[in-house]
Every structure is written in structure tokens, then in C-alpha cells.
Chains A and B, each alone.
Chain A
């Protein structure tokens, strides 16, 4: 296998880190939608906090993405 091939493989493997945050974002939205279903009046606050939570969860996936990008482009 060449160096370039290994680089692509490394980038692909690094993106396994998106596995957990994917589940996490799903759980977050699940909880938020259930909460909105029970209390539709609070939809605005719940939505804002949900997006904030999603951003923090997503950050973990972004770390994996940064590792993949560094493997590819540096």
C-alpha cells in the first residue's frame, strides 16, 4: 500500500469518531421532541437548548473530522 493510500485509510478510520456523536444527536432530538410533544408551549426554549446541545455533541464529531482533514491535507 502506498503512502497516499494509507493517508486516505487513516482519514476514513478517523471518521469512526462520528459514530458516538451520531447516536448522541439522535438521543438529544428524541428527548427534545418528546418534551415538545408533552409541552408544546415550551417549544421555543426546548428548541434553543436542543440546538445548543447538538452543537456540543457535534463538536466531538468535528474533532474526528479535524483529525481526518489533517491526515489528508497536511
Chain B
């Protein structure tokens, strides 16, 4: 058999494989047994796992993975530290994990030393910690089970209006991203209200979300009357607790009957949220309104579920990148002051240039440039944050979209790309920390200014 004939057979086999597992299974077989998949639900804010864990503070799934990454890092630090301590330094040969950590550390240290010289000791620990945290955080999200194993949460049909206007009609969808100061959801993932053809009915093609198997639906209906996400449950409990406190402040007794009544009222109030103002005006009695609301909710399909993963990549939540960026920019100021003293702030408000204005009128430009430096310092926070967050989050979206398009084989090259991007972004964050630090610890301005700064330094 010639090579071309053998190749032909393999090619036919591949085509058949793709046709069966990439077309027939996801689009025909799975829907027929009631486990069909629509579109992925992508939520920009991290999903809430336990609502209201501290007053006004929700525990999200990026926090669980950050705890996991921290535990891993501490374990690695202990193992590697013990390996170093147990052997005598002159005969020590690093192996395995120790060797890998030393490789990374040495690579980063050499880069830092080239830029910082004797100040490496101050800057390197923070830069290297950030690098290790981001590297493990970006890579661990590619482990199967991350962002894919979690709670199935029933869809909510009873969401508040997104703004604070209590009379505006509510949106149908999932609540995401914690509560704002008014106790309302900070964001709403709209699923049902994308009524694209405007016929008032939310069709299958017009919504995202996973269609659950029947067993899940029953479980959800049994567990919660309203099939709530953890956050929704927390919101309800908070509202009921407020009512109870108000009643007890007036000296009334609070019993189970009153609580049930309060919950019923809360549910009805939420339910009426799905009606628009015109619809409310047409209906007179409360019962009619509730009935109309119920019909509208049922038309939106109650069998929809979404997944709240237990773990989600740490940098796909904006809070971690912005936190790290704030730490880095703050520490750069600290290192600058350590190296140059109060003269560091002449970089921003150039007093020497202002003082010499009579001798050198062009120093006014230096002063204005200093003011622009303030803006550039602030823009570093934005650029550090969004570079990291954007590339990692976009990678996650890319992975999930590809997985939902064709689940077999196609996502594999994207995983390689994500490995590369995760490593590069961690490295860039660390190296930028080092570069910013190296810019902060040297005297600024041209040669003449530098001399002058030294001279004034001598007077102190």
C-alpha cells in the first residue's frame, strides 16, 4: 500500500471521527436525551459561592482558587527551603522541584540584577513572589476541573432592576458580582431578556445557559422554591432579617408565621418585577398581576441552569490584578524614597527647576513634565491591571467558546497558547515591577540636574 493510500484511510477516519464526535454527539444525540448544551454563560465578575459570608462581603470562586494557589506556593517554599537547609552548601546539587524553582529564581534574579544592581535585595522578593503567584495562578486554571466543575444553579426569573429605581421593570437573568450599597446586585447576567425578534417570547435561540437534565430540575425545585443562587438566598435572608429587626424594634413578636408571610411578600414583590409599567396599569388586582407575572416567567423557560464553578482562574477576576498593581506602584514610591529620600518627589513636583526659573526660564517645561509624571504613574496601575486581566480572561473565553463549538481536539492548541500567555504575562508583570523600581531609584533629569541634586543632597 502506498503512503498516499494509507494517508487517505487515516484522513477518512479523522473526518468520520470529527463528524460523529464534533457534530452528531453535541448537536443531535445530547439534546435528544435532554442533556443538550446551548451557549456558555460567561460572567465577567467572579461568581459568588457563598453570599454574605461577612456583612456585605461575598465569597467568590476566585477566592477559593487563590487560597489553593497560596497553599501550593507555601508547600513549594517549605519543600525547597528544607532541601536547601538539609544539605551542606558546597556539596548541594538541586534536583527536581528544587532545581526548577532555582532555575526560575536565577533567571529572574539575573534580569533584576542587571537593572537594579545593589538594590536588587529590596525589590527582588516582591517581584519574584508576584511572578510565582501569577505563574501558578495562570497555569493552574488550565487543569481540567477548573472553571468546569461546580454547583448547578437554577436560573432566576425575579431579578431587580439593574439601576436603583424601584419602580423600573426587572430583568430576567442571573445575579452576579455581589451587592452594591443599596443591597441590590452589582451586575446582572441577562439571559432571558434578549428578545431579539421582539415578539415578547424568549426563544431557545435567543438565550444562553445550559439546559439541565430533568433530574437536576427536580432537585432544584425541591431544594429552593425559587431555585436560587447562593447570592439570591443571601439577599432574601438579608431583607427578611431587616424586616424582623424593624418589627422587634416596634416591640412586636416575630414567629414562624410572620416569617413565612414576609418571605411570601418578598417573593411576590420580586415576581411583579418582571412586569412592565404598562402591563401593571392594565391589570387591577394583585392576583391578576401575580398570575400575569407567573405566565411571563414560565414563558422564559424555567429549565435553565448555569454553572458556578468551585474554582476559577485567579487573574480572571479584576480584583487580583488591580490589587497587585496597587501594591507594586505603592512599593515603587517606597523604594524611590528609600533610595533618594525626599528628593524622590521632585520627580513629580520639580521644585529645583521652579527655583532656578530666573536663571533657566525653560525649567518651566521640566516642571510641567513632572506633573505629567503623576499621570503616567497612575496610568501604570491601569495598564498593569488590564494587561494581565484582559489577556487571561480573554484566554478563558476563547477556551470555553472553542470547547462549546467543537469539544473534541480543537481546544488542545488553545491550551498550548494559554500556557504560553500565562507564563509571559506573569513574567511581564514581574519584569515591569523591576523596571519601574529601577526607574524610581536613579536620579532623574539631565547631567546638570543630576549634579545639582547631589549638591543639594550634601546640604541636608
Of B83-91, B260-268, B382-390, B440-448, the one touching chain A: B382-390
User: SS class of chain A's interface: helix, strand, loop or mixed?
Assistant: helix
Report chain A residues within 8 Å CB of B393: 66, 69
CA A70 to CA B195, docked complex, whole Å: 20
Contact A2/B195 with A51-B424, A59-B387 known, Cβ cut-off 8 Å: yes
Of the candidates B45, B194, B389, B391, the one whose C-beta lies within 8 Å of that of A4 is: B194
The reply to whether B386 and A63 contact each other, CB–CB distance below 8 Å, is: yes
CB contacts between A and B, total, < 8 Å? 49
The reply to whether B44 and A73 contact each other, CB–CB distance below 8 Å, is: yes
Query: Does B203 sit at the interface, judged by CB under 8 A?
Result: no
**Shortest beta-carbon distance from B200 to chain A in Å:** 12
CA A72 to CA B393, docked complex, whole Å: 13
The reply to whether A73 and B390 contact each other, CB–CB distance below 8 Å, is: no
Report chain B residues within 8 Å CB of A69: 44, 390, 393-394, 397
Report chain A residues within 8 Å CB of B198: 2
Contact A52/B390 with A2-B196, A5-B196, A73-B44 known, Cβ cut-off 8 Å: no
Of the candidates A51, A52, A59, A74, the one whose C-beta lies within 8 Å of that of B187 is: A74
Of the candidates A2, A4, A66, the one whose C-beta lies within 8 Å of that of B390 is: A66
CA A56 to CA B388, docked complex, whole Å: 11
CA A70 to CA B187, docked complex, whole Å: 11
The reply to whether A59 and B44 contact each other, CB–CB distance below 8 Å, is: no
Binary contact track A54-72/B, C-beta < 8 Å → 1, others 0: 0110110011011001101
CA A73 to CA B189, docked complex, whole Å: 7
The reply to whether B424 and A62 contact each other, CB–CB distance below 8 Å, is: no
CA A66 to CA B387, docked complex, whole Å: 9
Query: Does B212 sit at the interface, judged by CB under 8 A?
Result: no
Contact A62/B394 with A70-B44, A73-B43 known, Cβ cut-off 8 Å: yes
Please give me the residue from chain B that is nearest to A66 by CB atom.
B390
Please give me the residue from chain B that is nearest to A4 by CB atom.
B194
Q: How large is the interface on A (under 10, 10 to 19, 20 to 34, 35 or more residues)?
A: 10 to 19
Of the candidates B44, B195, B196, B431, the one whose C-beta lies within 8 Å of that of A52 is: B431
CA A4 to CA B195, docked complex, whole Å: 8
CB interface residues, A 1-38, toward B, < 8 Å: 2-5
Query: Does B240 sit at the interface, judged by CB under 8 A?
Result: no
Query: Does B25 sit at the interface, judged by CB under 8 A?
Result: no
CB interface residues, B 170-202, toward A, < 8 Å: 187, 189, 194-196, 198
CB interface residues, B 395-436, toward A, < 8 Å: 397, 424-425, 428, 431
Of the candidates B45, B194, B391, the one whose C-beta lies within 8 Å of that of A62 is: B391
The reply to whether A52 and B428 contact each other, CB–CB distance below 8 Å, is: yes
**Shortest beta-carbon distance from B246 to chain A in Å:** 34
**Shortest beta-carbon distance from B27 to chain A in Å:** 23
CA A73 to CA B386, docked complex, whole Å: 16
CA A63 to CA B393, docked complex, whole Å: 12
**Shortest beta-carbon distance from B315 to chain A in Å:** 12
**Shortest beta-carbon distance from B160 to chain A in Å:** 16
Binary contact track B46-63/A, C-beta < 8 Å → 1, others 0: 000000000000000000
**Shortest beta-carbon distance from B9 to chain A in Å:** 40
A52, A63, A66 interface centre (most CB from chain B within 10 Å): A66
The reply to whether A62 and B428 contact each other, CB–CB distance below 8 Å, is: no
CA A3 to CA B190, docked complex, whole Å: 11
Report chain A residues within 8 Å CB of B42: 72-73
**Shortest beta-carbon distance from A3 to chain B in Å:** 8
The reply to whether A65 and B431 contact each other, CB–CB distance below 8 Å, is: no
The reply to whether A59 and B43 contact each other, CB–CB distance below 8 Å, is: no
The reply to whether B394 and A55 contact each other, CB–CB distance below 8 Å, is: no
Contact A59/B383 with A69-B44, A73-B189 known, Cβ cut-off 8 Å: yes
**Shortest beta-carbon distance from B88 to chain A in Å:** 35
B residues engaging A (CB < 8 A)? 42-45, 187, 189, 194-196, 198, 383, 386-387, 389-391, 393-394, 397, 424-425, 428, 431
A residues engaging B (CB < 8 A)? 2-5, 51-52, 55-56, 58-59, 62-63, 65-66, 69-70, 72-74
Can you report 9 A-B residue pairs in the complex whose CB atoms are below 8 A from each other?
A3-B194, A4-B194, A5-B196, A55-B387, A59-B387, A62-B391, A65-B390, A73-B42, A74-B45
The 10 closest A-B pairs by CB, nearest first: A62-B390, A4-B194, A66-B390, A59-B387, A73-B44, A74-B44, A55-B428, A73-B42, A65-B394, A62-B391
